[in-house]
Structure 1
Amino acid sequence: MKNKKDNDFADRRSAAAEAKAALLKSYRAAKEAAEPTRLAREAERKAIAAAREERQAEKERLKRDEQARIEAVATERQAAADAAAKAEAEGREKAEKDRVSRVIEDEAARKAARDERYANRKARQK
């Protein structure tokens, strides 16, 4: 069904302006009505972000504590390994000194036996 009224340019322009004003008015009304929920969502997002940052800080603190514990254990193991190596080196050094002293004592005993044989031979020759 066709509109029987004659719509001239001015009528169409005013109708468009009224429609635009109505859309703007409804947009502003919707925006004002949604303001409390928008503020609530924003506050919720901030709370979630703060909780996330707190969890991340706790995770980083735990990671630092674990790293410090691992470093302490590694230091203790290194100290124990160093002590064991030092004890082994001292044991080898003591064994070497004992062997050297036994060699010297054996050499002295052989020399004493040789000198005694020599003295006995000289005594028999006289």
Structure 2
Amino acid sequence: MSGFRDKGFGDRLSTAANARKAMLERVRAKPGPDDPAVAERRAARQAVSAAREARLAEREAAKIAEQARETAKQEARQAAEHEQRIAQEANEALERVEAAQRQLALEAEKKAARDARYAARKARK
């Protein structure tokens, strides 16, 4: 069994320095903003973003058009119902007038019959 190796202060300093160098190398290895690969990725992201915005605008326009169609359909339905209600009320009013005329004619016939009976009774005496 090997013994435990205690790291000394120098070993810890050199390990930390190596870690800093590795981080610095990773930062230096990253491409800059003028790198063609970075520009290509940026253009691709912008194209995706523009396509997303176009889809959202198209969806919003479709939603607005659908709402306009529904509103127009509802207004047409309400206008038709209103016209139907007016026609029904006019028919009911006409029926009431005709019923009143029939009632008046019936009363006139009854009065004429009553007057005829009265006249016949007076003529008998």
Length-normalised TM-score, structure 1 = 0.76
CA distance in 1, matches of 2:61, 2:13: 67
Q: Which residue of 1 aligns with 2:47?
A: 47
Q: Which runs of structure 2 are paired with 1:1-126 in the superposition (5 Å)?
A: 17=17, 20-21=20-21, 24=24, 26-32=25-31, 35-125=35-125
Which letter maps to 2:84?
Answer: A
The equivalent of 1:3 in structure 2 is none
Query: Aligned pair in 2 of structure 1 residues 104, 31: CA closer, same or farther (>3 Å)?
Result: same
Tell me the distance in 2 between the aligned counterparts of 1:102 and 1:19: 112
Cα displacement (A) at 1:27: 2.6
Task: Give the aligned CA root-mean-square deviation in angstroms.
Answer: 2.6
Larger relative helix fraction: 1
**1:32 positional shift:** 2.9
Distance 1:107 1:117 in 2: 15
Aligned-residue identity in percent: 42
Give TM-score, length-normalised by structure 2: 0.76
Distance in 2 of aligned mates of 1:19 and 1:90 = 96
5+ residue gaps, structure 2:
1-9
Q: 1:60-116, CA deviations, whole angstroms, 9 ceiling, x for partnerless residues?
A: 101110110011011101111111111111111111110111001100111011111
Q: How many residues align?
A: 115
